[in-house]
Structures are given as structure tokens and as C-alpha cells.
Amino acid sequence: MSTPVATLIRNGRVITASDDYVADVLLQNGVIHTIGQSIEVGPDVRVVDATGLYVLPGGVDTHVHLENVIGPSVTCDTFASGTKAAAFGGTTTVVDFALQTATDSPLQAIARAQRSAESQVAVDYSLHVIVTRVDAQVLHDVRHAMHHEGVTSFKMFMAYPGIMMADDASIFRMLRQVGADGGMVALHAENGTVIDLLIQEALEAGHTSPRYHALTRPAIMEGEATHRGIRLAELAQAPIYFVHVSSNEALKHIVTARAEGIPVFAETCPHYLLFDDSVYHSDDVEIAKYVMTPPLRTSQDQKHLWRALRYDDLQVIATDHCPFCMKEGHLGYRMQKMRGKDDFSQIPNGAPGIETRMVSLFDIGVMQGKLSLNRFVELTATTPAKLFGLFPKKGTIAVGSDADVVLFDPAASQTIHAHHLHGNCDYTLLEGRTLRGRVEKVFLRGELIVDGPQWLGRAGMGRFVPRGQVRAF
Ligand code: DUC
Ligand code: ZN
Ligand code: ZN
């Protein structure tokens, strides 16, 4: 068959953040054209029988690091490998980061990331700018980025002094302007200077193994920074978004602020739901796999995260896909994690997860009765799209939305192995784990890009998506 003019997904169970019904869905000209019962089509339309399958909006992962320079390391997934992996995992839109270096402006950072992404991306993408330095020119460029480049969110760090950390006044200035312009500041909330002191003291005491990564980043310092970020946002009268919330110490401030009506939003990540800090109870160098920031927390924290996900104190589950190789690696990125085998502070912080987000959350969330199907879609596609100005183009199944659609088999299962995944990372935290649910087919703007194990997508077919204002309420 030559390239079909359209695709009819017949008789699938359409799940959105609010609905759940069996219907036919016609994808045409890159968008969802019609949703109905027994839709008639001509012979030039490809018909896919989706009986027994879920028809989900393509996942929206608003926290990924592809080709990101983080300190002295570069994440091992390129825009090509990372977005292909995303597609196989049922994610059709990613938001990566453009880093403002010491010498350039946010606009240069955006242009640089776009140049690199353009020929490589296999799903649609956007960028948050990491703003490390704030002055009048930077604020001017931030405004330009928002109104002319379609970049409406900015990440700032309260950790990593001397590298990426911004001071409170800089964060406040950004919150005030970006909030007034309808954008979002995303914060990495940890007290960076105290954590650096704890790291220094641990190393001086000879505590060098990877487990000390977690011991030197206590949850209380995540809580302190979260509270400070909230107060800055309150003063600035701006919405604020906390990335990678891992602990109840942070969560309790978010819950209180939301109850007071302060527009605070937050994500957690699959690894905080899948694992707890018991993995750190060893001096084995393999623990470097679990060195991400913030570190994994207690099983008690995990219970609080699930509660917050259910009751909307957390609104998003994004991956913080930040892959570094343990051993083999690709593209010359060998032994990245092993750089820190004799000094935990040298282990690049981050773990992979872009391809396993949807299926792992389906298994531990939906199948274990912790999340409804609607909530699963809301957390992984709809709300991230709303909070970051992508909705309703992305994040839902509705007439006129982009035809980014995942056919998902809830009755299938799969055992995860790193060598079956499509990214460049040589390990997965889920190695050997059997998960219920499987992505069967993925459409990007109506084009079939994943068909079972077959890759039909192309590097460069993804598009930069200019984003609008946040929909925070
Ligand atoms: N924060 C992130 O969001 N990703 C990787 C490392 C970090 O500190
Ligand atoms: Zn961070
Ligand atoms: Zn991150």
C-alpha cells in the first residue's frame, strides 16, 4: 500500500484525562479529524483494528536531557537516540533544556539547541531555557523568547553553586517577569551551599562511595529550598513549578501552599515511585546507577508521593531522563558513571527512563490500583501539556488536536532489558523487571512511527513546537 491519506483507528477504547469510551478515531492531515461510531472510509484510508486496545494521547515528557552538558559530562542520548526511545515508550512530545552558559544569552542557547535538534529529532519537541545568570539584558531576551520564539518556561537551580545555581534575587526577578508574561519558572529546589559543605565534609572523612551521594543531599534541604521558592513566587505573584519532587519534606510545603491558593505546581519522576533509598545500603560501585538528584528517598516518602499524585498535589510525572553510561556506552561516552568510583561527587547525576515511563507507571500505578486510567493520562500527557503551553495541540485525544496517538495493549506484558531499549544508555534501572502493558503502535501527527518492534520513524521528522502561555488554573 502506498502512503495512506489517512488512518482510521477502529473500535479502540479512547482514554483521555476525563473520558473513557469505545470509538473510531480518524487521523487525517496530521490531526484528529473525526471521533465517532462506525466511521465509513474509502479504500485509500489505512484501517487499524484497535479492538481491546487503549487509544491514548501521545505522552508528553516535559523533563528530558538529550545532549545536555551537565558539569563536565554530556548525557549519552542524542536528540536522535533519545527521541526514538521516547517514541517506543509512547511519548510523542519532549521538552528538553537549552543551557545559558556563562557567556551567552538565552536566545543563543535556544538557537544552539535547535540547530542540534533539527536534523535529529524523531518526535516533536520544545525547550526550557536553563537561566544561570540574570541581568537586564537576560530579562529582555527572556521576554523575547517568550513572545517571539515560543519558549515560555525557564529552569533555575537552587543547587550546584558556582556551576548553575542562581541566587534568590535572580530567581525572584525571573519569577516576577515570567509570571507576569504568562510563563513558568521551574525550580530545582535543594539548598546548594549546605549540600556542598556536606559533600566536602564527607570526602574529607574518607566517605567516597556512591552511597554518600544520598547521605549528603538530605530531604530537609529539599524541603527548605522548596519553601523558599514558594515564598519567592508568592511575593512575585507568579506561578511556580518544582521539578523532580522526591520527598515529603518538599511535598508538605507544596500541599500547604496549594491549600492557601498559591499557584504551585510540581512533578515527580518514575524512579522515586519505583525505588527507595534501600538501594544505597552498600558500598558497591554499581550503586552509581542510582545516583540521581535528588536521590531516592524512603518508602514513607514514596507513600506521600502516591497520595499527592492521587489528590492533585503533584500534577505531572516526567522522567528527568538524564542518562550516563556505566560501562560500554556509545559515541565515546564510556564509563561516565565510573568517573566517580573513588569520589561520589564526580558521578554524573542522572538516570535513564524516557522509554519506560508510560509502561512502568501503567504497571505500578494503574494495575496496582494507585491511579485511575484517566489520572494516568492526565499525569503523563494532559497536565504537562497544559502547564507548559502545549494544550490542546498536544496531550489529548480531541478533534483538531495533533494526531499523536498511542495504541496500548493492557493485556500484554514485557520484560525490560537495556539491550532491547532504543536509547544509548547501557543500563536501565528496570533490568529484568516484567511490566504489564505494552505500547503497540505510535502515531506522530498521523504518521505511524512505531509498529510493534518496528521503527518507521525518521530522524528529523520531529518538529519544534512553539508554546503558548501556561494554563495553570
Ligand atoms: N537536575 C535535573 O533536573 N536533572 C539532572 C541533574 C539535576 O540535578
Ligand atoms: Zn534538577
Ligand atoms: Zn533534570
In a domain, 207, yes or no: yes
- Which segments in the chain show pLDDT lower than 50? 1
Question: Any idea what the CATH number is for the domain that residue 248 is in?
Answer: 3.20.20.140
What local confidence, expressed as pLDDT, does residue 125 receive? 98
Q: For residue 157, how far is its CA from the centre of ligand 2 (angstroms)?
A: 7
Q: Is residue 458 part of a domain?
A: no
Provide the pLDDT for residue 316. 98
3-state secondary structure the chain: CCCCCEEEEEEEEEECCCCEEEEEEEEECCEEEEEECCCCCCCCEEEEECCCCEEEECEEECCECCCCEECCEECCCCHHHHHHHHHHCCEEEEEEEEECCCCCCHHHHHHHHHHHHHCCCCCEEEEEEECCCCCHHHHHHHHHHHHHHCCCEEEEECCCCCCCECCHHHHHHHHHHHHHCCCEEEEECCCHHHHHHHHHHHHHCCCCCCHHHHHCCCHHHHHHHHHHHHHHHHHHCCCEEECCCCCHHHHHHHHHHHHCCCCEEEEECHHHHHCCHHHHCCCCHHHHHHCCCCCCCCHHHHHHHHHHHHCCCCCEECCCECCCCCCCCCCCCCCCHHHHCCCHHHCCCCECCCCCHHHHHHHHHHHCCCCCHHHHHHHHHHHHHHHCCCCCCCCCCCCCCECCEEEEEEEEEEECCHHHCCCCCCCCCCCCCEEEEEEEEEEECCEEEEECCEECCCCCCCCECCCCCCCCC
Total domains present in the chain = 1
Closest ligand 1 atom, CA of 243? 3
Residue 349 CA: which ligand 1 atom is closest?
6
pLDDT confidence of residue 471: 77
Q: Is 349 in the pocket of ligand 1 (CB under 6 A)?
A: yes
pLDDT of residue 341: 86
> Which range of residues forms the domain containing residue 177?
58-387
For a substitution probing ligand 1, which of 292, 319, 321 has the most ligand atoms within 8 Å of its CB? 292
Residue 439 domain flag: no
Question: Is residue 459 in a domain?
Answer: no
| Residue 188: inside a domain | yes
Q: What is the pLDDT of residue 473?
A: 60
* Cα 188 to averaged position of ligand 2 atoms, centre (Å): 4
Domain assignment of residue 63, yes or no: yes
Around ion ligand 2, which residues have CB less than 5 A away?
188
* pLDDT for 427: 94
Q: Whole-model pTM above 0.85?
A: yes
Question: Is 403 within a domain?
Answer: no
Q: Please report whether residue 5 resides in a domain.
A: no
